[in-house]
Amino acid sequence: MLDYVTDKVQDETRQGEAYAPFTHDPNTYKKRFYIESYGCQMNFADSEVVASILNQEGFGATRNVEEADLIFINTCSIREKAEQTVRKRLTEFRKLKKEKKGMLVGVLGCMAERLKTKFIEEEKLVDIVVGPDAYRTLPALVEEATGGQKAVNVLLSRDETYADIAPVRLDSNGVSAFVSIMRGCNNMCSFCVVPFTRGRERSRDAGSIISECKDLFENGYREITLLGQNVDSYYYIDGQPQITENGQPATPAPVTFAGLLEQVARISPLLRVRFSTSHPKDITDEVLHTIARYDNICNYIHLPVQSGSSRILQLMNRTYTREWYMAKVDRIREIIPGCGISADIITGFCTEEEQDHQDTLSIMEYAQYDYSYMFYYSERPGTLAQRRFKDDVPLEIKKRRLQEVVDLQNRLSLESNKKDIGKTFKILIEGESKKSDTDWKGRSSEGKVFVFPKENYALQKGSYVMVKAGECTQGTLLGRITAIL
C-alpha cells in the first residue's frame, strides 16, 4: 500500500486538494478544468498525467471550481471515509452544475474502477467515469459527455504505464516531485482493494524514468520520489534487440529496482532520491546496499507492517511472520545505521484479539518507528477479507486500539526527535515555514522535518544547508544553520 498523504500520526485520509499548474499561463486556454485528488501518492501523480492530457486538448487548470468547465475528483477506495467524502463533494458539485450550463463532472481513479456505472445510473452524480488505466481516452469521453452521453471507461490494462506522457507538475513547490515507476499490484493482501482497481503489476520503461528524472533535475527539482505499489518488485527488460561487439544478438539485461535506484542516483549528487512503497517480503540486501553506497539516496524506508501478530498477518495474506519482519528491521539497521523507518498499521482486522493488538504495540516498540500511517480496519467490498472473513471487531474496540497505537507512535516520534537534538543534518530547503515567513522548512535524509530561521543568508528553495537541531516537538525539529553547501 502506498503512503497516504496525511499528517504523520493522523488516521484520516487527507482531504482532496485542488491543483493548478504553475508552469502554464491559464490565459492560453479557453476552457478550464478543476481537479481534486484524494488518497495515496499515486493518485496525486496520476492527476498530473491527467492534467497533461487535458492541456493537450485545450483545457487549462483553475483553482476556482466555479469557473471550471470540467470538474474531476481523483478518488481513493482504500477506506470507507474517503468514499463518503467523495460522495459529499460530488453532491456539492451537482449543485454547481445546475447553475452553470455545460459544466461536466467526472470521477477518476480507484473509486471509479470499483463502482463503475453506479455513479451515473443509480446516483446520477457524474457525467464521466474513468478508471486508472483509461486516462488516454479522456478526450473522447469528454466529447461524448459534451454531446449528452454518459461516458464510462474503466477497463484495466496489462501494459499501460503512461511512460510517454510528461506529467504537468500541479501546484508544485519546484523542489520535490513524484515519478511513477510501475502500476498495479500482484500482492493479494486480503484487506486491500488495489489489485482489483489498479490491475496487475507492470513496470515502466527504465529509460523513460531516467529521462523524466533528468528533466526534473535540469528544471530545478532537487528531490524525486519513485512511486509504485511495491517498488521492490520493479523489473524491466528492454524489448529492443541488442547486438554484442562481435555482432551476435544478446539478451537484454533486466533492470531491477536496485539497478534503477542506482541509475537515478547517478544523475547528480545534488538530486535526492526517495521511494515508496516497499513490501517487507521483497526489499533486498541489494537495495539496502545501494542506499548505503549513495549519499543522495535518502536513508529512509517506509516498511508497512500492518499488524504485529503472525496470526493476523497470515489472515491478511502478508506472506511474512512477526519474526521475519523484525529480522528485516535488524538488517536495515545493520546495513544503514540511523535509517529512518515508518510503517502502515491497521487495528481491528477480522478476528483480532487483545493479544494480537499487544503484539502490534510491541513490534512498534521494537522497530522504533519515526512515524506511522495508522487506520482502523474498514471492510472494502470485493476484497478477499470481505469474502472470507467476518468483520467482527466492534467499532468502539477498533477505535480504542487505534488510539493506543496513535498514542504510542506519538511517544516514539517524540523520543526519536529528542535523540537528534545536538546533532547536525544536511537539509534540503523545501520552502518557507507555514507558520512564519522568516523561517525555512526542509527535511533531512531520514525524512524528518526541520524548521530554522532564514537569518541573513542568501538562500532559496532547493538549497542544501547544514542545520543543528536545538529542540523539537513530536513532528518537527527546530534548529539553526551551521553551514551553506
Inside any domain, residue 3 = no
* Weakest mean pLDDT among 105-114, 345-354, 393-402: 105-114
**What pLDDT is attached to residue 112?**
77
Task: Name the residue with higher pLDDT: 64 or 450.
Answer: 450
| Position 168 pLDDT exceeds 90 | no
Q: Are strands 371-376 and 17-18 parallel, antiparallel or unpaired?
A: unpaired
Inside any domain, residue 4 = no
What is the domain extent for residue 100? Answer: 17-153
How would residue 249 be classed by pLDDT, with cut points 50, 70 and 90?
low
How would residue 7 be classed by pLDDT, with cut points 50, 70 and 90?
very low
CATH assignment of the domain containing 42: 3.40.50.12160
How would residue 250 be classed by pLDDT, with cut points 50, 70 and 90?
low
| Position 275 pLDDT exceeds 80 | yes
Instruction: Identify whether residues 101 and 233 lie together within a single domain.
Output: no
C-alpha to C-alpha distance for 482 and 485, rounded to whole angstroms: 10
pLDDT digits (tens, 9 = 90+) for 124-153: 788 899 988 999 999 999 999 999 888 899
Instruction: Identify whether residues 212 and 251 lie together within a single domain.
Output: yes
How would residue 397 be classed by pLDDT, with cut points 50, 70 and 90?
very high
- Out of 367, 394, 418, pick the residue that ends a domain: 418
Task: Name the residue with higher pLDDT: 170 or 469.
Answer: 469
Instruction: Identify whether residues 192 and 43 lie together within a single domain.
Output: no
pLDDT digits (tens, 9 = 90+) for 402-425: 999 999 999 999 999 999 999 999
Question: What is the rounded average pLDDT for all residues in the chain?
Answer: 88
Closest CA to 465 of 447, 483, 478: 483
How would residue 10 be classed by pLDDT, with cut points 50, 70 and 90?
very low
* Weakest mean pLDDT among 48-57, 73-82, 207-216, 288-297: 73-82
pLDDT digits (tens, 9 = 90+) for 286-316: 999 999 999 999 999 999 999 999 999 999 9
Instruction: Identify whether residues 77 and 114 lie together within a single domain.
Output: yes
**What pLDDT is attached to residue 196?**
85
- Out of 153, 184, 202, pick the residue that ends a domain: 153
Note whether 111 and 198 are within 8 A (CB). Answer: no
Instruction: Identify whether residues 352 and 390 lie together within a single domain.
Output: yes
Task: Show the cell assigned to 275.
Answer: 521511494
- Give the pLDDT mean for 15-38: 64
Instruction: Identify whether residues 189 and 280 lie together within a single domain.
Output: yes
How would residue 348 be classed by pLDDT, with cut points 50, 70 and 90?
very high
CATH assignment of the domain containing 438: 2.40.50.140
**What pLDDT is attached to residue 102?**
87
Instruction: Identify whether residues 55 and 90 lie together within a single domain.
Output: yes
- Please report, as a single letter, which amino acid is at residue 330: D
CATH assignment of the domain containing 312: 3.80.30.20
Cα-to-chain-centroid distance, residue 51: 18
C-alpha to C-alpha distance for 206 and 238, rounded to whole angstroms: 8
Task: Show the cell assigned to 329.
Answer: 528491521
Instruction: Identify whether residues 202 and 341 lie together within a single domain.
Output: yes
Cα-to-chain-centroid distance, residue 57: 27
Which residues pair with residue 341 across a beta bridge? 301
pLDDT digits (tens, 9 = 90+) for 313-345: 999 999 999 999 999 999 999 999 999 999 999
| Position 269 pLDDT exceeds 50 | yes
Backbone angles phi, psi at 477, to 5 degrees: -105, 135
**What pLDDT is attached to residue 83?**
74
**What pLDDT is attached to residue 15?**
42
Which residues pair with residue 59 across a beta bridge? 31
Note whether 366 and 343 are within 8 A (CB). Answer: no
Kindly report the three-state secondary structure assignment for every residue of the chain: CCCECCCCCCCCCCCCEECCECCCCHHHCCEEEEEEECCEHHHHHHHHHHHHHHHHCCEEECCCHHHCCEEEEEECCCCHHHHHHHHHHHHHHHHHHHHCCCCEEEEEEHHHHHHCCHHHHCCCCCCEEECCCCHHHHHHHHHHHHCCCCEEECCCCCCCCCCCCCCCCECCCCCEEEEECEECCCCCCCCCCHHHHHCCCEECCHHHHHHHHHHHHHCCCCEEEEECCCHHHCEECCCCCEECCCCCEECCCCEEHHHHHHHHHCCCCCCEEEEECCCCCCCCHHHHHHHHHCCCECCEEECCCECCCHHHHHHCCCCCCHHHHHHHHHHHHHHCCCCEEEEEEEECCCCCCHHHHHHHHHHHHHHCCCEEEEEECCCCCCCHHHHHCCCCCCHHHHHHHHHHHHHHHHHHHHHHHHHCCCCEEEEEEEEECCCCCCEEEEECCCCCEEEEECCCCCCCCCCEEEEEEEEECCCEEEEEEEEEC
Inside any domain, residue 243 = yes
Inside any domain, residue 89 = yes
**What pLDDT is attached to residue 313?**
98
Instruction: Identify whether residues 87 and 101 lie together within a single domain.
Output: yes
Inside any domain, residue 300 = yes
**What pLDDT is attached to residue 248?**
67
**What pLDDT is attached to residue 454?**
95
Instruction: Identify whether residues 91 and 30 lie together within a single domain.
Output: yes
Structural domain count, the chain: 3
Task: Name the residue with higher pLDDT: 114 or 295.
Answer: 295
Closest CA to 179 of 113, 258, 260, 254: 260
pLDDT digits (tens, 9 = 90+) for 355-366: 999 999 999 999
pLDDT digits (tens, 9 = 90+) for 252-263: 789 999 999 999
Instruction: Identify whether residues 403 and 337 lie together within a single domain.
Output: yes
Ramachandran assignment for 2, one of left (phi > 0), alpha (psi -120 to 50 degrees), beta (any other): beta
- Out of 399, 418, 437, pick the residue that ends a domain: 418
